[in-house]
Structures are given as C-alpha cells and as structure tokens.
C-alpha cells in the first residue's frame, strides 16, 4: 500500500526522461559537421549488427565522401541492442578508443570514423548471434581484453591504455566510458529507437528511410540544399526590393 502511495506521489521516471547528456558528444558523434547544411542525418547503429555494418558501408561511407566539402551534417549514435550481448561492451570500448584518439590531436569526427569503421570491419569476431557464436566460450572480460583490445591496437591505442580505460567492462567510474554509453542508449530509447540501423532525415523518423539507398539519400540531400538556396535567393531579393 505504501509502495502504491509512493508510486502515485512520486511517479517512476521512465520513457521520455533520459539524463541530460553531459556533452552532445556523449550521445552521438558528428562525423560530418556543417552548421549551414540543410540536410541532417542521424544514424542509430549497433557495432555487432550486420545490417548496421552494411548501411555503414553502403550509405554512410559514400555520403561522407560525397559531402565532405559541405551540404550535410551526419551524426552517428551508438545504440547497443541488448540481444546482441557483446554490443554494450563494444560501444563502451569504441568510446574509450575515440576519446584516446581524439585527445591525441585527431578531431572527434576523424577518430569516431576510424574507430567505427574498425569495429564494423572486424564485426564477425564478436557478433554473438552467429552460428557458431565465436565468443560462446569466452568471458565478458576475455572478449574485452582480447578482441576489443586488438581493435584498439589496430587503430593506434596502446593495449595498456585501453585496458585502463575499459577495465573488465563494468566500469562505473564517472570518467570512464560506461556512463556516457548508457546515456547514449537511454537517449535513443527515449526517442523511440528499437532496432538498428535507424535513420532520421532532418530529425524525422520514417519507415520509408529503411528502404532508401545511396541514390535516394543523395537526391534528398541535394534537394534540401537546393531548396534552401532557393529560399535564400528569394530572401535576398526581398531585401534588395525593400
Ligand atoms: C597537432 O595538430 C596541429 C594542427 O594540425 C599541428 O600543427 C601540430 O603539430 C599537431 N601536434 C602534434 C603533437 O602532432
Ligand atoms: C564451446 O564449447 C563447447 C563445449 O566444449 C564446444 O562444443 C563448442 O564448439 C565451443 N564453441 C566455440 C565457438 O569454441
């Protein structure tokens, strides 16, 4: 009865109320940053989801290449699915490696790209629902200290620095990767994401986006920029007339 009363007086905080992210970067990595772009894409992805890896290769990488000089802002938001049981540790590990590389004179965008690419490329080493599951007989700490540490080393983070940053994966240290990785998950869950990859186009979720290929995305980005130039030109004209 008391519990019920307390629940009525202090409603349990749940969906829709994720923690306020400490930094924008704690809930997503800006891979392409163009403040003036009229097109913004978010990709919610899981490092051990093969469809996320496919979209990374077929959509994200070509878009980064095509729009590197402007017109697109692209954010990658890690969303580790609970039923891919190495995913949360992959996301924590990736965060630790990105922080290491970006504190060593790389931009966050460059570091996040290199690290995400390495995880997707080496995905079959830790994707847990393969048959046979390559990590079936490994402990959580073995997966981290062998597979994820190898990925860290492959992109230039020393094994010892990686192990200090991630520990055995249950790292509740406020400065470690655990809290922001959890915040990123809550952020996405509160926005209704439940599968990967999930894209937004200028902030909007739409099932139609699941079927867009690189040509469809490119057309949309070009149309968005053309439309905004049109509006800009019309505004200029109004100013010139007044
Ligand atoms: C860091 O980057 C800047 C700008 O690219 C460069 O001038 C500087 O030498 C770099 N420092 C190190 C330690 O690499
Ligand atoms: C895990 O251990 C079981 C039992 O020894 C064995 O049958 C299986 O092949 C092992 N799996 C892998 C991926 O090593």
For residue 188, what pLDDT is reported? 97
**Residue 2, pLDDT above cutoff 70:** no
pLDDT one-digit tens code per residue, 161-211: 999 999 887 766 778 899 999 999 999 999 999 999 999 999 999 999 999
Q: Tell me the mean pLDDT in the region 46-52.
A: 97
What pTM was computed for the model?
0.87
What percent of the chain is predicted at pLDDT more than 70? 88
Cβ of residue 134 lying under 6 Å from some atom of ligand 2: yes
pLDDT one-digit tens code per residue, 85-144: 999 999 999 999 999 999 988 899 999 999 999 999 999 999 998 999 999 999 999 999
Cβ of residue 132 lying under 6 Å from some atom of ligand 2: yes
Listed in sequence order, the DSSP H helices in the chain are 2-9, 50-55, 61-66, 87-103, 108-121, 140-142, 149-154, 159-166, 178-190, 214-241
Q: Considering only residues 104 and 73, tell me which one the structure prediction assigns the higher pLDDT.
A: 73
Nearest of 178, 180, 203, 181 to residue 192 by alpha carbon? 203
How far apart, in whole angstroms, are the C-alpha atoms of residue 79 and residue 57?
A: 18
For residue 104, what pLDDT is reported? 85
Residue 23 confidence class, pLDDT cut points 50, 70, 90: confident
Measured torsion, CA atoms of residues 179, 28, 60, 42, in degrees rounded to the nearest 10 = 130
Q: Identify the residue whose tokens are 């979720």.
A: 205
Cβ of residue 241 lying under 6 Å from some atom of ligand 2: no
Which residue, judged by its Cα, is nearest atom 4 of ligand 2?
137
Handedness of CA 86, 172, 21, 150 (dihedral sign): negative
Atom of ligand 2 nearest to the CA of 134: 13
């Amino acid at each position: 009865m008391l519990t019920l009363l307390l629940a009525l007086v202090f409603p349990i905080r749940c969906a829709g109320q994720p923690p306020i992210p400490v930094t924008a970067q704690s809930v997503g990595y800006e891979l392409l940053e163009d403040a003036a772009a009229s097109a913004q894409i978010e990709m919610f992805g899981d490092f051990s989801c093969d469809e996320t890896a496919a979209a990374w290769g077929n959509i994200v990488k070509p878009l980064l290449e095509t729009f590197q000089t402007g017109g697109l802002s692209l954010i990658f938001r890690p969303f580790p699915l609970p039923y891919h049981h190495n995913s949360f540790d992959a996301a924590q590990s990736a965060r630790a490696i990105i922080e290491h590389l970006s504190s060593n004179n790389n931009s966050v965008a460059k570091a996040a790209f290199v690290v995400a690419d390495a995880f997707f490329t080496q995905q079959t080493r830790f994707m847990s629902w393969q048959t046979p599951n390559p990590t079936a007989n490994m402990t959580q700490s073995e997966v981290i200290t062998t597979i994820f540490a190898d990925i860290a080393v492959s992109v230039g983070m020393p094994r010892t620095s990686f192990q200090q940053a991630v520990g055995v994966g249950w790292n509740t240290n406020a400065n470690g990767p655990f809290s922001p990785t959890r915040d990123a998950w809550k952020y996405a869950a509160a926005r209704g994401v439940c599968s990967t990859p999930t894209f937004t186009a200028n902030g909007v979720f739409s099932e139609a986006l699941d079927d867009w290929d690189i040509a469809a995305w490119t057309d949309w980005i070009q149309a968005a920029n053309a439309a905004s130039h049109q509006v800009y030109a019309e505004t200029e004209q109004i100013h010139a007339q007044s």
